[in-house]
A and B are shown apart, each in its own frame.
Chain A
Amino acid sequence: MAKPKQAGPVTPRPGVPNDDVSFDGLAPGVCRIATSAGVALLAVSVGLGATEGDGFRRFLHSYLVAFMYVLSLGLGALWWVTLQHLVGARWSVVVRRIGELLASSMPALAVLSLPIIASVLLESDRLFPWVDPSFMQSQSALAAKRPYLNPGFFVARWAIYFSFWTALGYWLLRCSLAQDATGGTGPLDGARKVSPLAMIGFAITATCASVDYIMTLDPTWYSTVFGVYYFAGCVIAIHSAMVLIVVFLQHRGRLTRSVTPHHFHDLGKMMFAFTVFWAYIAFSQLLLVWYANLPEETVWYRVRSQGSWFFVAVVLVIGHFGLPFFGLLSRHAKRHRASLSFWAGWLLVLHFVDLYFLIMPTFYPGGVSWRVPDLTTWLGLLALFVADVARRARGRNLVPSRDPRLAESLAFENS
């Protein structure tokens, strides 16, 4: 099972008995395939975007959906790792490193966000109509939003978000890697101590980011629960992604003994719980907007309940809640890799549909206007995200092997 490592690092890395916890053998292949796939898919998207002849307007719409998707994975990971330190979780030690590697992807995500920032800096209204000053003068309610909705403050907020997320992701990974070198709980104290304040910072930045990048697409619309809605999607996405990553690694002979059905069971419980939570938040928002029937609020749902968008809404109700609810309900489904990874993949696809439904109807109120770049941009950014994570995983253990609580996590039993 365990492969001998040729190019060993300077300090020998203790592993987990009877298990291969190294990514070194896989890293070059994964990096190469993911990078080339990502670049090729993005090239196709840009090429197809150019043929639209609209100055990359359509491409940017696809790009925003794709970016909010990979951002949700990064933010979900950041939240998840912070939470594990905040509550002192022990079951999750075996999968914590994977979360940390995902959470430290913020510099790459900042680079990927540049087309969106560029569209604002170049004063183009391709994405955000509020960039256009004449539009903002058209209604008195909009004119009042100028202090928030202007390119300067928008970019300043972007800088704050990504500095904070980058610093947090880096710090969480660094504390954990320091533990690999020295052992003991000491190195993790740093992560544990920042976790409460980091959680507060995360709540503020993630909420504002979801407002900035999705809600302001329609500058007249507002909803106080919107940040929570996006957050629910992030949490579903990160747990599903971790399931798929672990299943892939086990398929390649890694972590086969470290991650047991008991850990999958817990990941599945979280997927299930937040699927219900997502439905709860989505339903609450819909019900309250529908019931009060205020014009400035219902316009958002009016667009999304007409024409072919209505069918997307139905797909979300059934696919993002109904089917996974019953699919993940049983203990059996959560403990078996085949069924759990099926639902993980399912939820990751439906999460894309959800973001598509949040973003696209604002641009295309007439109905679904599907283009190939919608798919290729999404898969391209996802591949680049995977490449970035795989690159960072090289030369590092996939399990924090000297965490004193590891033995407890390895022996963890889920009744």
Chain B
Amino acid sequence: MTATPVSPYQGRPGGENVFARITENVARIAEAPRPPPAWYVAFGISVALLLIFISNLALVAWFGVGLWGTMHPVAWGFPIVNFVFWIGIGHAGTLISAILYLLRQDWRTAISRFAEAMTVFALVCAVVFPGIHVGRPWVSYWMLPYPNQMGMWPQFRSPLEWDLFAVGTYATVSVMFWYLGMVPDFATLRNRAAGPVRRVAYGIAAMGWRGSSRQWHRYERAYLLLAALATPLVLSVHSVVAFDFATSQLPGWHSTIFPPYFVAGAIFGGFAMVVTLVVPARQFFGLASLIQIRHLELMNKIILATGMLVGYAYAMEFFIAWYSGVTFEQFAFVNRAFGPYAWAYWTMILCNLAAPQVFWWKAARTNVWVSLAVGIIVNVGMWFERFVIICTSLSRDFLPSSWGYFVPTAYDYLTLAGSFGLFFTLFLLFCRYLPMVAMAEVKATQPSARVR
């Protein structure tokens, strides 16, 4: 940063003009005739996994959910674990675009587009699972309240029904947020388009954006209002998911700290996923000057902070289980740590509590490879957290004669792996065709944009 920043309206494009440099840096990715070779490799793997996903879903739809290991007493096996995992991933996007916006954290502009895209794709992955878990996916629409001749109406007292509306609202607002932010950038791509196809396609997406001051004024107002509307959604969605568990009487599920604990965990896992995606993307597409080590460090600090919040919830659950004096509560937690699923529990503790502790050191926070490694480890840990909550509690409840042990089948594993295929396919297409960094927003945070 120079002492006297060059005015954004002067200088040669691509030279000392910082605005032009940002546009060039981001737009060239979508305009390049070919993506980097690594993109093809990643896309090939992702599409292969996506095909595995689709074929597994087809098999389950054809033969039934008996293909899974889901069986009494663990009636919520992998599908619900995966659902909660993917829903949680999305939270970082809303937090970055809504809460960090309201908190005036300008650094968010570098990663907001990524995180918002990730939110939308994670939601796509998430909603698949309850849809197939009901067993007859072709009547999944029965979950919706619509007038019908069957005299059927959803059970509104069930948190599972609340989920439908919580996730639906969340998906709607996330898509609107993502799209609204991209409108000025679509207009940039339209203006730079070399051929008619691109010009028309990006032109339709830009919805007649001309960049007039009136349009910018409306845009800023809309963005602020959407941010204010989306902020409660950061809390509400995963709180309702937490209600799915905590409204029950099952020891290990029924805990009043579940809603804020799930939210903290979701932000934790979501930020880890942002780091996991950002590190390779900035490397392959040469975005290091926009998504800087500084941004990585701040994300790692949030991962550390939310990881501590999750640790607080773990500790509080154990303390209250002991303090309550209720035998079943105490057993549920001893069983988690030392029962048949101890391997999953300690995997979770190592990944979620131990691994992020390296971020106490600046050298670790500012190292891309350490960040990437911890990001992946935390994602593994957060998947195991949901597995531990669901499977340990269900497998051993009040009555020892009804205990069991959940063993996932190959279809469970392949569906899980396949959902990553869906996620990464969508994400790689996003990297290829859409503006990966919010150009207009990043420009607004440059020192030279502060015209007084």
Footprint of B on A, CB under 8 Å? 140-145, 148, 196, 200, 203, 207, 211, 220, 222-228, 269, 276, 280-281, 284-285, 287-289, 291-294, 296
Contact = CB atoms under 8 A, between A and B. Distances in A.
Interface in B358-417: 360
14 contacts: A140-B325, A196-B360, A222-B324, A225-B257, A225-B259, A276-B232, A280-B259, A280-B260, A284-B260, A287-B243, A291-B243, A292-B247, A294-B254, A296-B324
A274 B242 CA distance: 21
A23 to B, nearest CB: 30
B144 interface: no
Given A200-B308, A224-B317, A280 B254 contact: no
Interface residues of B, number: 27
Nearest to A207: B316
Interface in B298-316: 308, 312-313, 316
B229 to A, nearest CB: 13
Interface string B6-36: 0000000000000000000000000000000
A142 to B, nearest CB: 7
Secondary structure at the A interface, as helix, strand, loop or mixed, is helix
A226 B319 CA distance: 12
Most buried by B among A141, A211, A224, A225: A224
Contacts of A281: 260
A128 to B, nearest CB: 14
B62 interface: no
Given A224-B257, A228-B260, A292-B247, 20 more contacts: A142-B325, A145-B323, A145-B325, A148-B323, A207-B316, A211-B323, A222-B320, A222-B323, A224-B256, A224-B313, A224-B316, A224-B317, A225-B256, A269-B102, A281-B260, A287-B243, A288-B255, A288-B259, A291-B247, A293-B249
Given A145-B323, A225-B256, A292 B312 contact: no
Contacts of B109: none
A269 B102 CA distance: 10
Contacts of A293: 249
A223 B308 contact: no
A249 B308 CA distance: 38
A193 to B, nearest CB: 11
Contacts of B320: 222-224
Secondary structure at the B interface, as helix, strand, loop or mixed, is helix
Contacts, number: 74
A280 B256 contact: no
A143 B243 CA distance: 31
Contact of A141 (B246, B254, B324): B324
A57 to B, nearest CB: 26
Nearest to A277: B235
B258 interface: yes
Contacts of A220: 325
Nearest to B260: A228
B239 interface: yes
Contacts of B254: 288, 292, 294
A203 B326 CA distance: 25
A284 B248 contact: no
Interface in B247-272: 247-249, 254-260
B246 A288 contact: yes
Contacts of A287: 243, 247
A280 B325 contact: no
Contact of A224 (B247, B249, B255): B255
A288 B239 contact: no
A89 to B, nearest CB: 10
Contact of A228 (B102, B257, B317, B325): B257
Nearest to B255: A224
A289 B316 contact: no
Q: Which 7 pairs of residues, A with B, have the shortest CB-CB distance?
A: A141-B325, A224-B257, A144-B325, A291-B247, A225-B256, A225-B257, A284-B259
Contacts of A296: 324, 326
Contacts of B247: 287-288, 291-292
B325 A225 contact: no
Contacts of A228: 257, 260
B398 to A, nearest CB: 12
A10 to B, nearest CB: 39
Contact of A284 (B256, B308, B324, B325): B256
B243 A288 contact: yes
Nearest to B259: A284
A220 B320 CA distance: 11
Contact of B256 (A145, A196, A211, A285): A285
A289 B247 CA distance: 8
Contacts of A225: 256-257, 259-260
A311 B299 CA distance: 45
B184 to A, nearest CB: 19
A189 to B, nearest CB: 14
Contacts of A288: 243, 246-247, 254-256, 258-259
Contacts of B249: 292-294
A349 B320 CA distance: 31
